[in-house]
Structure 1
Amino acid sequence: MGKGKDMRYLCYPYMREAQTTVDFEIQSDALAVRIGQAASLVVPLEELHSDLLKLVEMVYHLNGSVRGKMAISAADVHKLSDLYDRYVEETEESIKQFVLPQGSAAACALHVCRSEAKKTVRALHRVSLEREVPERLFDYAHLLANVLFVMAVYANKRQGIEEIPFVSKSYPVKTRKKEIN
């Protein structure tokens, strides 16, 4: 076959690594793919579509920030926090309790993204057991999961679909309280 390996037989150069960094990278790639899929379902909701496309790019920056150069800045965390606040403002009444992950195709896709974001946080935690991971990456990843949740509720609201509250038989119910400054 010549000097080098034919690259068609290599889907990812780090696939055989023993370290968990590669698992984080594969998981965060899955998250980016899911966010891109969700974006395709919200095209009529232009602002949400635009925000999701920006998040896809940011997830790839998160992905590379463990092995490569840190690409998530404090300003990026702040922008994500502002995005969270904006969607919370739109969905405040619906997110006072836990809700079932249901509704429109877009909202369901965003709930899948939220779940994938949690898996990404968990994969990042496993990496942190092997090497130092900047706290900023954890802040971003945790906040991203919460942003995706409120985006899902927002998508349902914009499409006229009501949330279905979930009351756990296992855990006491806590309601979110708005911060008082």
Structure 2
Amino acid sequence: MPYRSPYEAYPFLSDPENDLRCDYEILTDTIASQIGLLRSLCPEFKQQLTDLCTFVYHSNASVRTKNSINENDIQATLKAAGDLQKQTEHLYNRFVLPVGSQRACLAHCLRTQTKAAVRMLYRLSQRGNEVDTILIDFFSLLSNYFFHLALLLNHLDNVQEVPFKSRNYREDM
């Protein structure tokens, strides 16, 4: 029998390697922790980030047990993302580099982590786990939220966006 530490910080760390539920739970814990860090840097978004952090923690066990994200959570996240999009639509017209102020860069990190959560949820579903599609929608909305938050934070911090022109994609894409 393989060794199992009596000091494990989480009871599912020794799950079989093909069981990705623990990986998803660690990822959502990371996302929630990073939201907490961003919250400490963004007093003007304190309540909104607290709400989103709470939603992410609710999502944590939603693959192992039952889904805890509901339509009200989706609507709150959709509204928050939509409000940010309206505030930032004049700040960009194509791709930008994920650079800028410290808090904008952290928002960009969260944008990528939430995309990783979407990818993880698809992988879990493909491996036969029951994944409520509302979770995929939730993390997709969060990715959009953090993109627009990064733009707004750079704007508030008087940092110019740095445009990015891909060598691989046409401009009309």
Aligned match of 1:75 in 60, 68, 72? 72
TM-score normalised by structure 1 residue count: 0.86
Alignment of 1:2-151 (within 5 A): 9-18=7-16, 19-43=19-43, 46=44, 48-130=45-127, 131-151=129-149
Within 2, Cα distance between the matches of 1:142 and 1:160?
A: 28
Runs of 4+ more than 2 Å apart: none
**Any gaps of 5 or more consecutive residues in structure 2?**
none
Root-mean-square deviation over aligned CA pairs: 1.7
In structure 2, C-alpha distance between the alignment counterparts of 1:92 and 1:68, rounded to whole Å: 39
Shift of 1:157: 1.1
Which deviations, in whole Å up to 9, do the C-alpha atoms of 1:102-147 show, x marking residues without a partner?
Answer: 1111101111111111111111122112212111111001111111
How big is each residue's C-alpha offset from its partner over 1:61-89, in whole Å with a ceiling of 9 and x where there is no partner? Answer: 11121112221111211111111110011
Q: State the match for 1:169 in structure 2.
A: 167
Cα-to-partner distance string for 1:11-67 (whole Å, 9 max, x where unaligned): 111111121111111111111111111111112xx2x22211211111111112111
User: What is the alpha-carbon distance in structure 1 between the residues aligned to residue 92 and residue 80 of structure 2?
Assistant: 16
What count of residue pairs does the alignment treat as equivalent? 167
Structure 1 unaligned segments of length 5 or more: list them: 176-181
With the length of structure 2 as denominator, give the TM-score of the two structures. Answer: 0.90
Moved more, 105-114 or 92-101: 92-101
| Residue range with higher mean Cα deviation, 79-88 or 33-42 | 33-42
- Per-residue deviation, 1:6: 9.4
Q: Percent identity?
A: 35
Q: Aligned partners of 1:25 and 1:87: how far apart in 2?
A: 27
